[in-house]
Structure 1
Amino acid sequence: MAGVTIEELGLKFVKACMKLYWGSWWYPFLFAVGLLCTLIWGRKKSSRIFIGYTAFLFLTVYNPIVVKYVIARLDFENEYYRFIWILPVIPAIAYYGVTFVSSFHKKWLKGAAVVAVLGVFVVLGNPLNGVVKNFALAENIYKVPDELIQICEILHSKMSNPDARPRVVFDASLNNVARQYDAQFRLTIDRNASIYRAGSTVAGEFNEKSRRYKRQKAILDVIDYQIYDHPKKFRNALRKSNTKFVVVKKNDELHAFLLKNGCKQIAETESYYIYRYVGLEKDKKK
């Protein structure tokens, strides 16, 4: 996890990751209470699965000794937080909540139990605005911006070969969601290259001298950071990466730069310009 290293924390690494991951949530506490109740009163095999599962995790991937001497050697430190996902906190407390409500036979008691359980979840949980900033409901069933769907339809209409898999440069606002929506388009900019260029440490180690990263950085400098000092590097990066289309948010200065450097505007949406990299086609003709 970002800012947390095994070398620095040693046996305290797992505890630090858990604390950073769960933050102010008290759901792990509810989970622990549920496990305790299962040990004392649980008779159903369906509830005891949480005991065995949790015990296995704490003997392996949550074991500070295993983490310090095995995880560190596997170079899995930055991805370790993913192990925390497999602790069944949410499904378990949902199960315990339903079990608690079901233990009452009278309807009015069940109703009161539902209110009590929901109240506990709200009080001990973390408000959404503390987790997600600028929260907005999904615009469609694909959980991506409507404009991305429109852009992908336009790109498909501009392809001479419907079965082709062209490389596309999307700016930071669409790059990560584009790969989730339409797999036919290959992304010129890797997710890890993008977040590494932004200064993130969770992308792992990068060879800044590699040709692949240099090309991606030359493109990122222009489309995401509006640095126009090296137009030749930008053109070469588009050409050598075999990029066919470029999609960026509307920006007059960026628009002028792209037009001067081998990109031809072929369409637009409310917020985005769509370009074809014609410089690539000219180079092929040569």
Structure 2
Amino acid sequence: MGGINLNESGLDFVRQVFVTFGGNTTVLTLFLLSVLYLALKGKKEERYVFVTTAVFLAFTVYNPFAVKYILGKLGMVNVYYRFFWILPMVLTIGYACTKVVGGQKKGWRRYLTAAVLAAVICFGGNSVLAGGLPKLPDNQYKMPDDLLAVCTVLHEEAGEGTVRVVFEPDFNLIVRQYDASFELVLDRDMVLTYQGSNTVSTDALTEQEIEDETKILQIITQMDLSLDQKEFYRSLREMNAEYIVLSSSSAAVSYVETAGCIPVREVEGHIIFRVEEK
């Protein structure tokens, strides 16, 4: 997950995940200070809502020992970052800051306190413009235009219903967000594993599926064209592939065509091949 491995990180895993997905620890520090302030200065109801919640979470999902020895066994490590979504940081910080400002006497002290807290919050986090201005999406689906064009042609060729397609990795990882009627010949976790990820597992696949998908990936991603073309085509048929989509510039184009796949259309820099039974 994000290059963070539980076995390698050990008890530091929780901190590393927060820094990686949260940007920095400024907000977390403000949250902890807010909890401490409410624990000391808050009313009984405030302590019950904010402090009790924070303590409970600290001893459960944010407890390094629990994460290492319990969540790891439950297979939840790869999605652990989602647990930070339930942490009421913004609500707690906002409430505590309001209470601090409201506790000051009316006049310059109240205004100064509000200004200082606002400055800490504004400048302590990451600017939304740090990575440059946001890029507007190509279309309303927030998908590459060439992917939409390829999907349209595939449905024109195959008709309605599900279609089993071999996509190159870039398309393979996002196409079903646009159109779930496409069945992926290459399993998502298999593609990530082949690319070197150590945060996913192929345990759900059979040995034969792993072997066949590896052969297909060898051709379309590694451009290792030493594999016998009959073996490649057999793997396509074993995986019930109906179409292959390759970039027009891919070195595998001529190999795939010679292996027996039939080019049917070229659209937006991609060639669509049909896989037929032999």
Please tell me the TM-score bracket, short chain as reference: 0.7 to 0.9
Q: Residues 153, 75 of structure 1: CA spacing in aligned structure 2 closer, same or farther, 3 A cutoff? A: closer
Runs (5+) with no aligned partner, structure 2: none
Residue equivalent to 1:152? 151
Equivalence for 1:210: 207
Alignment of 1:166 with 2:167, yes or no, is: no
How far 1:71 moved relative to its partner? 2.5
CA deviations over 1:169-192 (Å, ceiling 9, x no partner):
111121111011100111111111
- Select between 183-192 and 66-75 the one with higher mean Cα deviation: 66-75
Shift of 1:48: 6.5
The 8 Å contact of residues 38 and 48 in structure 1, kept in 2 or not, is answered as no
Q: Structure 1-normalised TM-score? A: 0.76
Aligned to 2:183: 186
SS in 2 for 1:227: coil
Task: Among all aligned residue pairs of Structure 1 and Structure 2, give the percentage whose two residues are the same amino acid.
Answer: 30
Q: Do the aligned residues in 1 keep the contact of 2:38 with 2:96 (CA within 8 Å)?
A: no
Q: CA deviation at 1:75?
A: 4.2
Aligned residues: 271
Tell me which residue corresponds to 2:262. 264
What is the alpha-carbon distance in structure 2 between the residues aligned to residue 47 and residue 233 of structure 1?
Answer: 67
2:153 counterpart letter in structure 1: I
Q: Distance in 2 between matches of 1:165 and 1:208?
A: 21
Q: In structure 2, do the counterparts of structure 1 residues 148 and 115 end up closer, same or farther at CA, with 3 Å as the change threshold?
A: farther
Following TM superposition, by how much is the alpha carbon of 1:50 offset from its aligned partner in structure 2, in angstroms?
Answer: 4.5
Is 1:254 matched with 2:228? Answer: no
Aligned to 1:5: 6
For 1:28, the aligned partner's letter is L
Mapped pair 1:229 → 2:230: no
Deviation at 1:79, TM superposition (A): 4.1
> Which segment is superposed worse, 201-210 or 222-231?
201-210
TM-score by length of 2: 0.78
Distance 1:168 1:9, change over 3 A: closer
Post-superposition shift, 1:227?
A: 1.3
Residue pair 1:42, 1:48 contacting (<8 A) in 2 also: no
Task: Please give the alpha-carbon distance, in whole angstroms, between the structure 1 residues aligned to 2:167 and 2:223.
Answer: 14
Give deviations 1:198-230, integer Å, cap 9, x for gaps: 111001365998111111111111112211111
Could you say what secondary structure the match of 1:242 adopts? coil
Question: Does the 8 Å contact 1:208/1:214 carry over to 2?
Answer: no
Does the Cα contact within 8 Å between 2:6 and 2:68 map onto a contact in 1?
Answer: no
In the TM superposition, residue 250 of structure 1 has moved relative to its aligned partner by 1.8
> What value does the CA root-mean-square deviation take over the aligned residues?
3.8
Report the Cα distance in structure 2 between the residues aligned to 1:237 and 1:120, rounded to whole angstroms. Answer: 59
Any conservation in 2 of the 1:78–1:204 contact (CA below 8 Å)? Answer: no
Contact kept, 8 Å, 2:189 with 2:202, in 1: the verdict is: no
